[in-house]
Structure 1
Amino acid sequence: MTRRTERTARAVAVAALAAVVLAACGPDDPKRSTDARPSTSATAPAPATPVPGTSAPAAGNPGTQRSLTAAELDRAILATADVPGYTVGPMDPPPAQGETPAEEACAPLTSLLNGKPEPAAQASAYRQIAGANPESRPAVSVFLTAHGDQGAATVLNRLRAAVTACRDGFTTTGPTGPSTYRSVRALPPVKAGDDGLAYQLTADFEGDPVPLVFHVVRAGATVATFYTANLEGPKTPEVPVALITAQAAKLR
């Protein structure tokens, strides 16, 4: 087994969502994909605390100010025609079981690792994005979740608090066993939508760092999450800005 293949196989245990990325860009089957089926779940979102410096909700499409349905999210999520140079394909929602943190303060971070930000979404849609070159790395996952205005703001507020509280790392348990995350650090967010943040989690696997990067953007009552991972080295992977801005524009 090559070093590259070994790292990819071991990284399946990073998180439930990381396994989804591997399904689309693993070296053994770079074109593998499955039908996307938007999932739904109902919850009463917790009140949000306003974040200084955030902009007013988008004034364009009034639909972005309410919780979109699964069908509406399916139409609003990026498609291949929206992003020249990239191919958007289907992706299954993550399974119900996922990682649970030892520290409650880090739960917002593991909820995104599980592909299901909290407060729980009323509807969601998932896609996988690859460059024009099928061998390009890394692939990017995007998912839209509908929360209502207060719930969407709460998602980002909780994540901001968790990035600060868990900056020295944390541990989790999950279906594949325990996982360790060395650190959490904030990254410069892309200016898109009504609010946004970005951060890197660095997982630890037998002494090897596995960087995971998230960009989270709120557009009205919808949250767009972009995720990518570098399974082959310690360099911070990048989510192309064009993908983030195209998705935010499509939600306005």
Structure 2
Amino acid sequence: MKRSALPRAAVTVVTSALSLALLTGCGGSGSDDDKGAGAKASETAAAKALSGGELEKLIIATADVDGYKVAAADRSQQFASSKDDVKVVDEKCAPIAYVLTGFAPGDSAAYINRQATEVAAKPSASSTKSMEDMTEEELDEAMKGITDALGQTLTIVSLSSYEGDGAKKTLSSVSEAIAGCGGGFTATADGDTQKFTKVEKEKASGTGDESLAFAVTGDADGDKVVVHGEVVRHGSTVATYYSISLAAFSGDSDVAAYDIPAAVIKAQAAKLS
């Protein structure tokens, strides 16, 4: 996307894309600045499931990861109000769909999620002006700020806990979905339909007791958008990560390759160790 080719009328449209993700699930309750209690979440796969309150203390907060703001996912942007509302044509692909909507990939006892967004540069003085009042230089500066912001990556992080060997079974179901849904799948909720055309296995971070990663190609108003997911088991707790480049979502065909931010995975893994 070249700034010189973007008309003034498009500035507002592009700016609105900064707050959107392809699919975003509803967030859990609680403060985004809660700090971990040092609880051990990765002792055995058969450990007792953690409660929602325990997960809330273990999920990352802004103070845990430099360069990111962590907050509850915006309910106004959710694809579905609950996990039960998400319907997948091919049931074996459901675990991937759940990761992409911020819900637990398996039948969990409790879950919680957060949204981690790269911190944007501070707005310039010209950004407080209306477009009609901007000079060409000020408009160019504003567009540079928008382009920089569009380079950010938004990540949905979720934690879910399971009784017995539920966490291990959940990782197995995700593995089977990655292997069996290469040709894509379709998910619907509340009358909205999202089509994914490809699922590919990727190299995982290697954190936790076992981890799996994948890339999914989606169709967003005719444009192909690639998003990334990772599922990690820490004992009876499963952490999921879903990242999307805001530039890719806005339709920028020149967006550079990106992945789930290593800093976010590292920060969450540390709280679960």
Given the two structures, how large is their TM-score scaled by the length of structure 2? 0.68
Q: Which among 125, 129, 137 is matched to residue 116 of structure 2?
A: 129
Q: Which among 86, 89, 92 is matched to residue 102 of structure 1?
A: 89
2:200 corresponds to: 185
DSSP-derived class of the 1:191 partner: coil
* 1:104, distance to aligned residue in structure 2 (A): 2.0
Contact kept, 8 Å, 2:184 with 2:198, in 1: the verdict is: yes
* Bigger radius of gyration among the two: 2
**For residue 37 of structure 1, what is the amino acid of its counterpart?**
S
DSSP-derived class of the 2:267 partner: helix
Given the two structures, how large is their TM-score scaled by the length of structure 1? 0.73
Q: Which among 188, 210, 216 is matched to residue 195 of structure 1?
A: 210
* 1:221, distance to aligned residue in structure 2 (A): 0.6
**For residue 165 of structure 1, what is the amino acid of its counterpart?**
G
Contact kept, 8 Å, 1:204 with 1:210, in 2: the verdict is: yes
Quick check: 128-137 or 98-107, which moved more? 128-137
Q: Which among 239, 243, 247 is matched to residue 264 of structure 2?
A: 243
* 1:16, distance to aligned residue in structure 2 (A): 4.7
Counterparts of 2:116 and 2:40, CA distance in 1: 27
Question: Which string of whole-angstrom CA distances, capped at 9 and with x for unpartnered residues, describes residues 193-242 of structure 1?
Answer: 11111111111134310112111111011011111113134655321112
Question: Which string of whole-angstrom CA distances, capped at 9 and with x for unpartnered residues, describes residues 142-167 of structure 1?
Answer: 11111135111111111111111110
* 1:69, distance to aligned residue in structure 2 (A): 1.0
Counterparts of 2:179 and 2:11, CA distance in 1: 34
* 1:87, distance to aligned residue in structure 2 (A): 2.1
Structure 1 unpaired stretches of 5+: 21-34, 39-59
- What is the number of equivalent residue pairs in this alignment? 214
Identity %: 30
Contact kept, 8 Å, 1:195 with 1:219, in 2: the verdict is: yes
Counterparts of 2:229 and 2:92, CA distance in 1: 18
CA gap of 1:218–1:4, structure 2 versus 1, over 3 A, is farther
Q: Which among 198, 213, 221 is matched to residue 236 of structure 2?
A: 221
2:13 corresponds to: 5
Counterparts of 1:99 and 1:165, CA distance in 2: 19
Counterparts of 2:164 and 2:156, CA distance in 1: 24
